[in-house]
Structure 1
């Protein structure tokens, strides 16, 4: 039950983050249609659709977790003998930590496998087909990036290597993004809010946000993509299944765009980014 409760907490945190990301995306879309009445009308419909899609998906995901919680796995307790009690006492704290980490890793792998099965004919598969269709029109295909919290930065690092012939590490990318956001606080903080109160971040919370970017595997989103584009002085194109075919960042910069894909339904644990390669560019793989 504890694991299910943790899953629900992770899901709720992701939902709050996705709502914040959507609001940032909506603000960016509104700016592009500022002086165009026709676009404004179309944008209102698009915004309503995106918000409705998210509400429905969030509700379905929460119901799925709650359904699991209502049907816990029965655990049979084994009698404790003097021998087993003695063995338990000999297990070191370090060993317990290793066993706990190993168990968590196994649970994460099982969750991913379970999600693969559940989505074989569900939202994940539908989303994948839509992204593949859009990539095909650009002569691209997906280059898979591991789902480990670093997916955005690994996708960008891969793109820099094949599109710009520049090798750059995930750690360096994270540090560059954190430093850029710190130095340009006034540009970013209006789009940042506390996930619990939805209030604008305090100075301490802002610093904590930047520290997490630099020192942990926290997921990256639209704000981090904007910072990456400005740090690297590269246009970045994000291909997704719904909404605009592609979201463009850094269009003012010259040179080939870094092409990545955004997936909402690939894993239950959170949104995901993959890289891309040319369909006939197998040598880049």
Structure 2
């Protein structure tokens, strides 16, 4: 395989630096208050890793077979790599603050420098400074392009927040924040059950492995997980067709781990507790009723059903999808 030349390596390094600016921009654009420190640390590590690797590649390429002129330029090249990494970091921090100047700064052409050549005087091009100028211009152009791209991105988080706020106000609801720990759906349902005075207790299924006394020692979200699994196991034919894995392994994860809950679990809980679930999400409010009510088989009045309100976020939390409990706003 043909070895990479110095010019090819420098061209690749410039592309890697432009790509890094774009990646850092996207990461910091999507960071939340809770995740910003971690994102900043990750970006700093990415910059350091790129700088270290590129310097090592240059050292390996220039380590042997250098003529006198290349050896003389070795130190300026290494200084330029350090300057390049610093420039990438400055650009990323500048984009995070969204205070990029109105137009990229203009880099003037490098001056000709007089150098002695043999016994006669004359002007000789300073190729090192020309390379520095070209790289600086490319970094600035990449930063401007990344900023333009970021400005054209759809603000999904802002749109979602605006819709949710309108729905909360329309139904006189206020949020009860739930810990984003993988149990959020079940914790939110447990909170709603408590608000409506509905007991979370119920008969244990044989798979729940424990006594009623042990069950009462579990945290509320874990009890709600058990209730969902109890119903799903009793009506396996209603749920198994929607799974991409064996039914038994799926319900075991829902019962015993921090596996996220979703539509199937909401359906199971609506039936297990005989309540109506209303889930406010971006663009709509989904209503989930017990099967008997939804199919018109119940003799009871729908108005007697307790209504549990949840908020479902797809974009609002850095770790992904999330549920909060929605309570009636104080008068």
Query: TM-score, length-normalised on structure 1?
Result: 0.52
Q: 1:176 to 1:165 in 2, by over 3 A?
A: closer
SS of equivalent residue, structure 2 residue 48? coil
Q: Is the Cα contact below 8 Å between 1:236 and 1:248 reproduced in 2?
A: yes
User: Equivalent residue for 1:267?
Assistant: 317
Indicate yes or no: 2:158 matched with 1:125: yes
Match of 1:246 among 280, 286, 297: 286
User: Equivalent residue for 1:186?
Assistant: 237
**Which range moves more in the overlay, 251-260 or 142-151?**
251-260
Indicate yes or no: 2:260 matched with 1:219: yes
Quote the Cα distance in structure 1 between the aligned partners of 2:171 and 2:253.
Answer: 35
Q: Is the Cα contact below 8 Å between 1:132 and 1:141 reproduced in 2?
A: no
Please list, as runs of the form range in 1=range in 2, the aligned pairs for 1:1-285 lying within 5 A after superposition: 64=26, 72-74=46-48, 122-166=155-199, 169-193=220-244, 201=245, 205-242=246-283, 244-250=284-290, 252=293, 254-280=304-330
Quote the Cα distance in structure 2 between the aligned partners of 1:155 and 1:238.
Answer: 11
Cα shift at 1:73 = 4.0
- C-alpha RMSD of matched pairs (Å): 3.3
Q: What do residues 159-208 of structure 1 show as CA deviations (whole Å, max 9, x unaligned)?
A: 00112353661111111211221221110112222xxxxxxx3xxx2211
The structure that has the greater radius of gyration is 2
Quote the Cα distance in structure 2 between the aligned partners of 1:150 and 1:74.
Answer: 36
Q: Is the Cα contact below 8 Å between 2:229 and 2:254 reproduced in 1?
A: yes
Quote the Cα distance in structure 2 between the aligned partners of 1:188 and 1:230.
Answer: 13
Q: Is the Cα contact below 8 Å between 1:132 and 1:142 reproduced in 2?
A: no
Q: Is the Cα contact below 8 Å between 2:267 and 2:288 reproduced in 1?
A: no
Quote the Cα distance in structure 1 between the aligned partners of 2:192 and 2:237.
Answer: 29
Quote the Cα distance in structure 1 between the aligned partners of 2:232 and 2:47.
Answer: 45
SS of equivalent residue, structure 2 residue 185? helix
Q: 1:64 to 1:178 in 2, by over 3 A?
A: farther
Q: Which has the higher helix share?
A: 1
4+ aligned runs moved over 4 Å, structure 1: 67-71
Q: What do residues 232-282 of structure 1 show as CA deviations (whole Å, max 9, x unaligned)?
A: 11111111122x33333337263220111111002232211000111226x
The number of equivalent residue pairs is 167
SS of equivalent residue, structure 2 residue 174? strand
